[in-house]
Structure 1
Amino acid sequence: MQLADSGMQCADIADELNNRKQSLHTLALLDTLEYLKKGGRISKTVALAGSLLSIKPVVTVREGEVAILGKARGSKQGNNFLIEQVKSFGIDFTKPVFLGYTGLSDVMLKKYINDSKDIWEGHADILKTGTIGGAIGTHVGPGAIAVAFFADI
């Protein structure tokens, strides 16, 4: 919308978006491994072990594929790991930032925003948040939180 509002032509907008897509990052903290198991992305054994150890994976999308950035034990460490990963990329606050969640409750997302307020304070007056749709939500299950942003290059 911003590019179109600035008067850019369609072809120029397409070129600009293609140039920017390399700096677009989407990271997510999953609350459960159950849905990855149901979708055949991990084995029953891995899901059971991860559940017993309260493993919370942090994933991203690389070259169109879901990749695990790391794993943490428990929600607090998972939250901290996601915060570290977002900080490691740096955020270009002149471009859109979106935070999303799956499920019926945004409690986990609100906790993440509060825990990571040093990232946002002074940089973003308003954080755009919302639910993540069913197509992705089906694969990750309820309680997942995601951050989509352009890296500060």
Structure 2
Amino acid sequence: MSTSTPGTSAGTGPVVVVTDSTASLPEQAVVEHGVVVVPLQVVIGAQVLDEGAEGATPDRVAQALREYTPVSTSRPSPAVMLEAYERAHAEGASAVVSVHLSGEMSGTFESAQLAAREAPLPVTCVDTRQVGIGTGYAALAAARVAAAGGTAEEAARAARDRAAATASLFYVDTLEYLRRGGRIGAAAALLGGALAVKPLLRIEDGRVASLERVRTSARALARLEELAVEAAGEEQVDVYVAHLANPERAGALADHLRERLADNLGGRELWCGELGAVLGAHVGPGMIAVCVAPLHP
């Protein structure tokens, strides 16, 4: 889903891509593609922190969750989004494509829409219906089209198409954190199941949905591997393995996928890293996710 707000007439400068911190893009990719990242906030106890290395980090969130310290998250305000658009305009941008996590999971897309109405340049807002790096890969697709001279609408279309083709699969040790944050969606039916069952989940039309139930965490990770290979099929893909406080298992899964998907990766790096603080607050320690994103043509 996307919306376009006319703003003032477009200039001749570049199309700039804006996204939010939940997109989980490595800093190198942000710099290389000129993507602007607007942070969400994490509230830990009485502290309100921007998501990022200087504020709310995954380690800090994981520790707070283990200690039962209240943790919540909040979207960037429309005023903060507007600042990003105004800055892009001041630096010579002709238009902005603002690419964000699912509107079903956060009010960030709504903030972008509200800010776009006041922006001094045209802003096209894209609801990727994804979370995490699924949003990030969509933003990169838009940035590549913009860098090649594409219009804002072409860049937005690239983001939407890539997000729709992306598979986001994950395993959680417990559904408790998703339940607390109200993000459990269609997977709520699993709450009444046996405590020993380990749920495999996916993002489906912008919401968390149940995929499978297995008996052990080892079996869950083995299934994640198989499902990722199935999702890749014969296509050229980018792959990201994310975790929260579970580096050893995530690293092992990444190693297996690098080997099994070598042809699909075509020499591109398989990213493996810790989930951001905002998403981590909703899934809890132990989570492992795999995102498989077919390359945009």
TM-score, normalized by the shorter chain, greater than 0.5: yes
Residue 16 of structure 1, aligned match among 145, 158, 166: 158
Task: Return 5+ residue gaps in structure 1 as ranges.
Answer: none
Alignment partner, residue 203 of structure 2: 61
What's the C-alpha RMSD, in Å, of the aligned pairs? 2.6
In the alignment, structure 1 residue 5 sits paired with structure 2 residue 147: yes
Residue 138 of structure 1, aligned match among 281, 285, 288: 281
In the alignment, structure 1 residue 116 sits paired with structure 2 residue 257: yes
SS of equivalent to 2:174:
coil
Query: Comparing both chains, which one has the higher relative contact order based on Cα–Cα distances under 8 Å and sequence gaps of 6 or more?
Result: 1
SS of equivalent to 1:59:
strand
Correspondence list, 1:3-152, <5 A = 3-39=145-181, 41=184, 46=192, 49-50=194-195, 53=196, 55-90=197-232, 92-93=235-236, 95-103=237-245, 105-124=246-265, 125=267, 126-151=269-294
Task: Give CA deviations for 1:2-58 in whole Å, capped at 9, x if unaligned.
Answer: 222322222211122223332112111112334245446459x737x32xx2x2211
> With structure 2 as the length reference, what TM-score do the two structures score?
0.43
Q: What is the distance in 2 between the residues matched to 1:65 and 1:5?
A: 31
Q: How many angstroms does 1:61 deviate by? A: 0.9
Task: Return 5+ residue gaps in structure 2 as ranges.
Answer: 1-142
SS of equivalent to 1:60:
strand
Return the letter of the residue paired with 1:146: A
- Number of matched residues? 145
Which of the pair has more CA radius of gyration?
A: 2
Q: What is the distance in 2 between the residues matched to 1:97 and 1:84?
A: 14
Task: Give CA deviations for 1:47-83 in whole Å, capped at 9, x if unaligned.
Answer: 7x32xx2x22111111111001001111221011112
SS of equivalent to 1:26:
strand
Q: Taking every aligned residue pair, what percent have the same amino acid on both sides?
A: 26
> With structure 1 as the length reference, what TM-score do the two structures score?
0.77
